[in-house]
């Protein structure tokens, strides 16, 4: 062990890199799939000139398309003059709690938000590919000389694609009625099509409405993050390269040790040590040589995979961790039996 600890350390690092590479690839792919699902919550997001015209846009869309579900919401966009917002291009936008609850009911999206108090709000954000933010920091925002404290953050796509454009704050209905007078109201009408690929068919009909002000249409087949799928393939390739490299290094080291210990085992055989005892000694020696790096890698990989899960804000990657470790164990078992056969052949035992 003292003689070969450097080799064992190199093998452990290579195996840990292989598991980390595969975990990172899966985390990127899962995150990209979630972002794609986030952006495709609606096929149309229509900006109307007034409140309560959802049925009008619905009838226009139904001329060419079948609607799976729809929702509507009033968004109060506040000017920077009444807030402490430092970013001109991303103003604060206020939403009422009851409207978000109704959107969840209309669309079937999950809703587990508690109603904020008069000096509280819920941040409605979007999904990031990766983030280094600290969730333990308590954020506050000042609006009209009153400080509001963030109590929760949600990334459920209640507003679909448009949820990426502004800082949305969900407040209770009383606060919303007070604050929306300070800004400009936008009326959004959102529609999910039964056949999203036909999103172009209803565009002209929507634009014929006298209450139409703008339209965001989502192409479900756009592929802005195709590079992530390539990275996933590369990560799997890197995983296999590192696994083969670590196994090969350990195999060649044991192969070299067989020549160094040949005379020792021959002496033991000549003085009458039973062949079964020598075979058992060889098996135990090789088991230790392969098992120790695997144990160290297994423990270390858990922490590296958890770090990736936190960085990517992804759900637990424990399943990926387990599968990758099983693949490595399987490969090393094959290496163990090959090493054992080679060892015995070189020692003539």
Flag the least confident range among 54-68, 103-117, 137-151, 225-239: 225-239
Instruction: Give the pLDDT mean for 255-270.
Output: 70
Domain that holds residue 194: 41-217
Q: How does pLDDT run across 164-199, given as a tens digit for each residue?
A: 777 799 999 999 999 988 889 999 999 999 998 898
**pLDDT (average), residues 145-150:** 91
Our count of domains for the chain comes to: 2
Kindly report, residue by residue over 110-124, the tens digit of the pLDDT. Answer: 999 999 999 999 999
Do 49 and 187 lie in one domain? The reply is yes
User: 59 and 26: one domain?
Assistant: no
Please state, in angstroms and rounded to a whole number, the distance separating the CA atoms of residues 123 and 145.
19
* 181 and 136, same domain (yes or no): yes
pLDDT of residue 133: 59
Instruction: Find where tokens 């770090």 sit.
Output: 307
Are 203 and 105 in a shared domain?
yes
Find out whether 25 and 231 touch, Cβ atoms under 8 Å.
yes
What average pLDDT does the structure give for the chain? 85
DSSP line for 176-225:
HHHHGGGSEEEEEEEEEESSGGGTTTTHHHHHTSTTEEEEEE--TT--TT
| Residue ending a domain, choose from 168, 194, 217 | 217
Of 217, 239, 260, the residue at which a domain comes to its end is 217
- DSSP 8-state assignment for residue 286: H
Please give the residue that has the higher pLDDT: either 66 or 267.
66
29 shares its domain with 46 = no
């Amino acid at each position: 062990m003292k003689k070969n600890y450097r080799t064992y350390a190199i093998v452990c690092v290579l195996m840990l890199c292989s598991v980390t590479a595969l975990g990172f690839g899966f985390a990127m792919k899962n995150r990209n799939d979630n972002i794609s699902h986030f952006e495709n919550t609606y096929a149309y997001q229509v900006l109307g000139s007034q409140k309560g015209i959802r049925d009008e846009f619905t009838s226009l869309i139904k001329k060419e398309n079948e609607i799976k579900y729809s929702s509507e919401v009033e968004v109060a966009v506040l000017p920077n003059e009444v807030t402490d917002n430092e970013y001109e291009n991303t103003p604060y936008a206020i939403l009422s709690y009851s409207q978000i609850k109704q959107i969840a009911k209309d669309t079937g999206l999950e809703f587990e938000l508690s109603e904020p108090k008069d000096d509280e709000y819920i941040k409605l954000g979007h999904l990031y590919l990766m983030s280094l933010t600290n969730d333990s920091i308590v954020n506050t925002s000042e609006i009209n000389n009153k400080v509001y404290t963030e109590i929760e953050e949600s990334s459920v796509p209640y507003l679909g694609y448009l949820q990426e454009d502004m800082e949305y704050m969900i407040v209770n209905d009383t606060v919303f009625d007070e604050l929306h007078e300070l800004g400009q109201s936008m009326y959004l009408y959102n529609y999910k099509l039964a056949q999203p690929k036909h999103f172009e068919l209803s565009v002209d009909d929507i634009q014929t409405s006298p209450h139409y002000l703008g339209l965001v249409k989502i192409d479900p087949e756009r592929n802005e993050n195709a590079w992530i799928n390539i990275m996933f393939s590369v990560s799997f390739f890197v995983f296999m390269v590192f696994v083969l490299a670590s196994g090969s290094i350990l195999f060649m080291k044991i192969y070299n040790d067989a020549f160094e210990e040949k005379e020792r085992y021959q002496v033991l055989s000549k003085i009458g040590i039973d062949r079964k005892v020598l075979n058992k000694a060889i098996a135990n020696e090789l088991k230790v040589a392969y098992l120790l790096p695997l144990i160290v890698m297994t423990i270390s990989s858990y922490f590296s995979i958890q770090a990736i899960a936190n960085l990517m804000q992804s759900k637990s990657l424990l399943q990926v961790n387990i599968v990758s470790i099983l693949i490595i164990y399987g490969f090393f078992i094959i290496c163990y039996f090959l090493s054992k056969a080679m060892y015995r052949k070189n020692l003539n035992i």
